[in-house]
Chain A
């Protein structure tokens, strides 16, 4: 069965420092996608970054990068130069089966950025 695991319920980081949020996944499909979404306290879901299973290079989007280690089945999110506005819940998700829209989500990690 496909599964996403986020083992860090909560994380603290000092403003301007980098932080890594862990995500491991389990799937037997050769083709899949990995996503990270941010959910601020206001509740909306904001797409951050995507990595395809066949992508050779790690994805980057501004201050976000995805550390994709296929053999270890991990897709960690790295946020560089943390800002106070980065305080939020972060969800790792994986596309399910043949339809890339059917995402399965992890339980999330609550990131708190300290001034």
Chain B
């Protein structure tokens, strides 16, 4: 049981380049998320998905795109990379019924992206 798998773990991009961060989960979770963590800060939500074919913006969506064609995969696309996108990116997933109880997120190990 791998949980949430993110690739790559590290990447250096030049300004203006594009790339996709991959995220896959094998827990049959319905919810998936992308967060970014800037140095010395907490996590900020970029995009999330409540199921295949459904995505929505979080707090900081500008410069990113996502898709959710399957339950398992939730890739994050960076278009025209900028230095402000230098960060650690975390993918997470959860199984949430939309009722009471904790919606506990399982996080991937993170992807460290540097834009030069």
Contacts and interface: CB of A to CB of B under 8 A. Distances in A.
Interface of A: 4, 33, 35, 43-45, 47, 50, 52, 54, 91, 93, 95, 99-108
B40 interface: yes
Interface of B: 31, 33, 40-45, 48, 50, 58-59, 88, 90, 92, 94, 96, 100-107, 109-110
A106 B102 contact: no
A101 B44 contact: no
Given A43-B110, A101-B94, A108-B42, A33 B103 contact: yes
Given A43-B109, A100-B103, A101-B103, A107 B41 contact: yes
A106 B42 contact: yes
Contacts of B41: 107-108
Nearest to B59: A104
B103 A107 contact: no
B42 A107 contact: yes
Contact of B101 (A52, A105, A107, A108): A52
Contacts of B88: 43
A44 B110 contact: yes
Contacts of B96: 99-101
B40 A107 contact: yes
A75 to B, nearest CB: 13
A50 B105 contact: no
Contacts of B45: 102-104
A44 B90 CA distance: 9
Among B100, B102, B106, B107, max chain A CB count under 10 A is at B102
